[in-house]
Each structure stands twice: as C-alpha cells, then as structure tokens.
Chain A
Amino acid sequence: MLLAAVFIFFLLSVGFHAVAGRLSFIANSVLRFLAVGTVMGLLLIVWLVGRYGLWSAELVTGVLTYAFLCNLYIFLFTATLSSVSTNLLFRLSREALAPDDVERLYSGRAMAEVRIKRLVDAGFLAAATTGLTLTATGAKSVATYGHLRRLFKHVNDL
C-alpha cells in the first residue's frame, strides 16, 4: 500500500510535469518538475502523516522513496537532452542514418550551436550588440561549477 501510494504520487508528478510543459509557464524543464514535484511531495507527506502518523518508519520511507524516484526521473530526462548517445538513439528511432549524416548532425560545430541557443533561451547568456555575455544566473552557474570541479578534483580540461 505504502509503495503503491508513493508510486501514484510520483506518476501524478510526472503527468503534471508533462501538462505544465505544454502550458509553458516555466521555461526550464527541471524547475518545472521541481515545482510540481514539490507540491505533490507535500501532498504525499500530508497523506502519509494522516495514515501512518508523524513518527513512523512509513513516513520516512515514503518520503525517501518519492525523493529517490523524482531524482532519478530528473537525471533521466535531463540526460535525454544533454547526452550525445541518447540523442543519437532517439534520432535513429526516426530514421536510419549514414555515417556521413552522423558526422554532419553531430559535428562539434553543430553541437556547440545547439547548446549556445539553449543557454540563451534558458537565460544563462544574454545577446548584446557586441556579442554574448553572461547573465547573473550564468555567472552564478560558472562559479558553482568551478567549486564543484575543485571539489571533485577534475583536471582543468574545459
């Protein structure tokens, strides 16, 4: 019963995420899911407390399972956009490609162009008359990822 309820709340979050994407009131798909996922998560907590009580293992497990499913979902759907391999598989599901087509569609140049456009659309880069500049959000992201790179000891290959 507990896991079934958690799974239903999760599926409702995913469903509302799909609906919210078509209504387009939040441009960023991750923020969109966080918005609907948080609301559904709070409703789940209310339901769990009502059924199992505040100090119960069921409440803790329910919340953790829901959080895990949401995190996994975010990880998976963001990977479908950012990963070259998943993009390639998705494109191949629509049409067979010759090696030359792959070379052209997934050239370093084409991939850079797509990502620059996404960064402008998402508000990380601003298009000025002189060129592209970082927005405050973009600058914050660079700083955050700089900290992460140092934290994880990644070699400086950017």
Chain B
Amino acid sequence: MGALYLAAVAYLAIHVAAYFVHLRHLPSFRHEGTIFRYHAISSCIFSAAALLPGLVRADARLLIAGLGLVMLHGLYSITFLELWSISQIGYSIAILAEVERLGVATAEELVRDLARIGEAKKAGRLQSLSALGLIRLESGRYHLTARGRIIAGAIGLLRWLANYSDTG
C-alpha cells in the first residue's frame, strides 16, 4: 500500500513539475482547453492505474486506497485549474491591480477603465450558452431550455446555500 501512495505522489510531482519546468512556456498551454485536457487525460490514466491493483486482486483495502488517490488527483487538478483560471481572467483582481497602479481611483475612473473587460467577458457568452443547448431565442427573448433549467436550478441551489443575493 505504501508503494502505491509513493508512486501516486511521485506521479503528481512529475505532472506538476513538467508543467512548471517546460509546458507553461509553450503557447498552446496558455489556452484553457489545453490546460483542461492536460488534467483530464492525466486524471483518467491515473484513476485507472490507482484502482486497477485493487480490482485485479479483489482487495477491498487496496481499492479504498486507490479511491483516495483518485480524490487526491481531483483535489490537485481542481486547485490547479482554479488558480490558473482566477489568475488569468480575474475581473476583481484586475480592478485591484488598477487601483494599485493609480494609487487612488474614483469608482467612475475604474468603471470607465475596466468596462472593456466586462464587454470582453460578455462577448460570445450568449452564443456559447445557445450552442450548449442551455438557452434559446424565441419571440425576441432568451429563454432557458429544459437542460438550461436543470443547470440554472443547480446554480440557484448553490447561490441559496452560499446566501448570495445579488447578480452580475
């Protein structure tokens, strides 16, 4: 069991080192899709390798250990993707960086300077949601599809749990 844990930790160390030493310098690794695939493919291979020993030997404890390692990869990947994505497109961080640059800024100045980021974020969202089959344009108004209602319901539940009231 110790060898399994050791091999898993070594694999994850190599995975993260490969990114920081070499892959992050490649232009393709500046795209969200590439980063996502880098983690998704690794996660699939890693999960199969972690669960296989327990399944082949029909060993429940080995299988439980393998399941823990699958979660470890999930933990690592979500943390990585979250940090990558926040540091790439964080709107709030852009506002803070602008205040740091200016020293003191009025809300009006910030809104004027940063509105372009909001426009960029909005551009194409409607088309993407429509392409994913979540919304449809009908009689001149956007409506949720059946699939969109399920997703929106889950979003509503999460917002209720976190006690969020505003939107935007």
Contact = CB atoms under 8 A, between A and B. Distances in A.
Interface of A: 2, 14, 17-18, 21-22, 29, 33, 57-58, 60-62, 64-65, 67-68, 71-72, 75-77, 80-82, 84-93, 96-99, 102, 105-116, 118-119, 124-125, 128, 130-134, 138-139, 141-142, 145-146, 148-149, 151-155, 158
B110 A152 contact: no
A131 B104 contact: yes
Given A61-B71, A106-B122, 6 more contacts: A61-B68, A111-B121, A116-B95, A134-B99, A145-B97, A151-B24
Given A18-B160, A18-B161, A88 B129 contact: yes
Interface string B90-110: 111111111110011111011
A154 B67 contact: no
A130 B104 CA distance: 7
8 contacts: A33-B162, A57-B1, A57-B64, A85-B125, A113-B107, A118-B166, A138-B96, A158-B98
A64 B75 contact: yes
Contacts of B121: 84, 108, 111
A93 B142 contact: no
Contacts of B99: 125, 132-134, 138
A18 B121 CA distance: 29
Given A57-B68, A111-B118, A152-B88, A87 B168 contact: yes
Contacts of B160: 18
B93 A90 contact: no
B53 interface: no
Contacts, number: 247
* Interface size bracket, B side: 35 or more
A151 B87 CA distance: 10
| Nearest 9 interchain pairs by C-beta | A21-B163, A108-B118, A61-B68, A108-B115, A114-B168, A111-B118, A93-B152, A148-B87, A108-B119
Contacts of A58: 61, 64
Interface in B67-93: 67-69, 71-72, 74-75, 78-79, 82-84, 86-88, 90-93
A81 B164 contact: yes
B156 interface: yes
Interface of B: 1, 5, 20, 24-25, 29-30, 61-62, 64-65, 67-69, 71-72, 74-75, 78-79, 82-84, 86-88, 90-100, 103-107, 109-111, 114-122, 125-126, 128-129, 134-135, 137, 140-144, 148-149, 151-153, 155-156, 158-164, 166-168
A134 B137 CA distance: 42
- A29, A60, A133: residue with the most chain B Cβ atoms closer than 10 Å: A60
A93 B88 CA distance: 29
Given A18-B160, A89-B144, A92-B144, A115 B91 contact: yes
B142 A148 contact: no
Contacts of B104: 128, 130-133
Contacts of B153: 93
